[in-house]
Chain A
Amino acid sequence: MSLSLEQFSTSDYSLQLAHKCVDDYSGKSDAMTKQLEAVELQQLDDFLRSGIEAHNWLRRAQEVLQEAARAGLSVSNDAKEALDFLYRQWLGPCPHAERRIEQQEKAGHPVAAAEEFRQACQNVRNRVYAMEMHEALEDAFEGRMFDDAFWTEAGKYLS
């Protein structure tokens, strides 16, 4: 029996798992946001661990896809776009989660998963920042970055 590499799409599995975990995490976030009273410490910790797990799957999917691309394998633009979308989705609950952590810590209740969660937040913020800078690069190449304020001063500078 011969095998073809095309039969295996492990990158799809890692991306699908990342997608599933980010959806679960976002769903839990929605439920938490609706609660008016303070969230129990254990419930918050479980939520943060859910976010950390989703983040780890995202990182893993990203590593697999980027390593495949560097190795010259064909990686679809759809997969890259899906990854970008999931990173942005993951970041959605962050401000709320960070506020809840702060509330617990101010009340003297250390949150076990807080540090790891904050690191994940920073990593995803860096990733989303990079997406925005790539958009800025495209704008610059197309000349769209240079607005009236720029031109008013550029006109004087160049004359």
Chain B
Amino acid sequence: MDLTAVDFSAPYLSRVRDFECGEEPWAVMAANWIKQAPPFDGALKSMAKHGNCVWLHFLETPGTAEQHLVGFSSLGVTRWSIPPPDGPKRTVGFIPMLAIASAFQGKRIGETAVRYSDAMVQHVVDKARERAYRELCLFVDANNAKATSLYTRCGFVVLGGRDHRNLLRMLKRLD
């Protein structure tokens, strides 16, 4: 079984129509993010406005036409002054959204020890390294224990505690 990533674009809207990744507010929001077309807030609007990439991850069984949507990942950039507030602006990789379909959460790829979720995060990390970003950041809802655990496992650290929206900011060094 192979996990393949394809670039997301408008023709794939019909392919993600039934995507679901849970019933928690953040899961409902993430599922809608990939399904919505502009002017509604979602992947396509974000790609047009911020130029970020979005990938769909499919599980394919070699020799068959079978293809299951495992989830989606994304990569954009934000710019920080390092050191703040007046240091030179630096481009920092940013993961706007990443979601794994309910059926694949906590599961491993075939006989391997690698989880689908870890493989998807690794895909984004690899893409960020290809672009020579030195850091990768993201945020998660502080109540979203599954996501926090996933990113911690993948080497991200929480910095600065919770913000006023109860969000955790996480950062990973890539060099």
Instruction: Show the binding face of A for B, using Cβ within 8 Å.
Output: 65-66, 69-70, 72, 75-77, 79-80, 125-126, 129-134, 136-137, 140-143, 145-155, 157-158
Contacts and interface: CB of A to CB of B under 8 A. Distances in A.
Contacts of B76: 141
A71 B50 CA distance: 23
A66 B41 CA distance: 11
Interface string B54-90: 0000000000000000000000101111111000000
8 contacts: A129-B25, A131-B41, A133-B141, A136-B165, A140-B139, A149-B163, A153-B159, A154-B159
A147 to B, nearest CB: 7
Contacts of A149: 160-161, 163
Interface residues of B, number: 42
Given A69-B37, A76-B39, A157-B157, A145 B163 contact: yes
Contacts of B40: 65-66, 69, 75, 80
Contact of A155 (B26, B83, B169, B173): B83
Interface string B126-142: 00000000010101010
A75 B169 contact: no
Contacts of B50: 141
Interface string B19-55: 0000001101100110111111100001000100000
Interface of B: 10, 13, 25-26, 28-29, 32-33, 35-41, 46, 50, 76, 78-84, 94, 96-97, 135, 137, 139, 141, 157, 159-161, 163, 165, 167, 169, 171, 173
A33 to B, nearest CB: 27
B94 A141 contact: yes
Contacts of B41: 130-131, 134, 137
B25 A125 contact: yes
Decide if the interface of chain A is mainly helix, strand, loop or mixed: helix
A39 B141 CA distance: 38
A78 to B, nearest CB: 9
A133 B29 contact: yes
B53 to A, nearest CB: 14
Given A66-B36, A126-B25, A136 B169 contact: no
A143 B38 CA distance: 23
Given A66-B36, A149-B161, A157-B159, A130 B169 contact: no
A129 B29 contact: yes
Nearest to A142: B78
A126 B29 contact: yes
Given A66-B40, A130-B28, A141-B96, A136 B160 contact: no
